[in-house]
Every structure is written in structure tokens, then in C-alpha cells.
Amino acid sequence: MAGERELQEAVGRFVRAFGLHQPDKTPCGRPVPVSEAHALGELARDGALRQSELAHRLRLEKSSTSRLVGQLINRGWAERAPAPDDGRGVLVRLTPAGVDAAGQLAEARATRFSSILERVPEDERAGVLHALEILTEAMDEP
């Protein structure tokens, strides 16, 4: 049975192989910080989100999310707007340029994941996905 050291080493190898240790570019090779790519993906999938909801989804502190949204705004990819149902709430939504950037990232991501999946033996794919789900759930528990 694998112990904590083996898990630590396996996760470290995965992080490096996938490129997650390079924060200024996505694992699919785009020159966009990983945090910005994730924010673009969330906003592209669900449209305008409260900034607090974006923080929750990205598992970031509110201050980090505020800086991240500021970076997206500086790139011309997002804008803030008051929440229509709450004067204190702030919505974040993509601009047309942000929609385009998110689409390009999604395409690059799909290509990268397809390439990776092709190299996993077909009879092992379900097990790999299941293991990732279990690992994610274990990290979500307090």
C-alpha cells in the first residue's frame, strides 16, 4: 500500500510533467498565468459571476481574486459590474476579447488533453479518471 511519501513524490512528478510548476503559462503552453486561464474558463462556462463566487470556485482568497480580476481587466478580457439584485455585490463578466481568449485556451486545452488521453491505455482511462476524482474529493475534505 502506497504511503504518504509515495503520494507526495507521485503528485510532484505529475505537477512537473503537466507543467503546473510554471505559473506564467498554462499546461497547454499558452503564455497566460494558470490562475487567469482558470478564471477565464469559469467565466466562459457560466457567464457573469459574482466575484465572491469566482473566488470560491478558484479556491482563492477574496483579495487574490480581486487582484486576479484586475489583471483580467487590464488585459481587456473582463469587466466588473454591480450585481443587479444587490448593491454591494460585484459581477465579473468577460468582454468580447475575453470570450475570444477563453475560446483559444479551451481549444489548446482540448488538444493537450486529447493528446494525453491517447497515450493512456484505453482500458486504464476510467481508472485514471476515477483516481483523480478520489484524490480531489480527499483534498476537499476538511
Closest alpha carbon to 43 in 102, 90, 109, 85: 102
* 110-138 residue pLDDT tens: 998 899 899 999 999 999 999 989 988 88
Domain boundaries, the chain: 21-140
Model pTM score: 0.81
Task: Compute how many other C-beta atoms are within 10 angstroms of the C-beta atom of residue 140.
Answer: 8
pLDDT digits (tens, 9 = 90+) for 9-67: 988 898 888 877 877 777 777 888 889 999 999 999 988 999 999 999 999 999 999 99
pLDDT for residue 118? 94
Shortest CA distance to 44 belongs to which of 86, 105, 112?
105
Residue 1, pLDDT above cutoff 70: no
Alpha-carbon gap, residue 72 to 79, rounded angstroms: 8
CATH 1.10.10.10 is held by the domain 21-140: yes
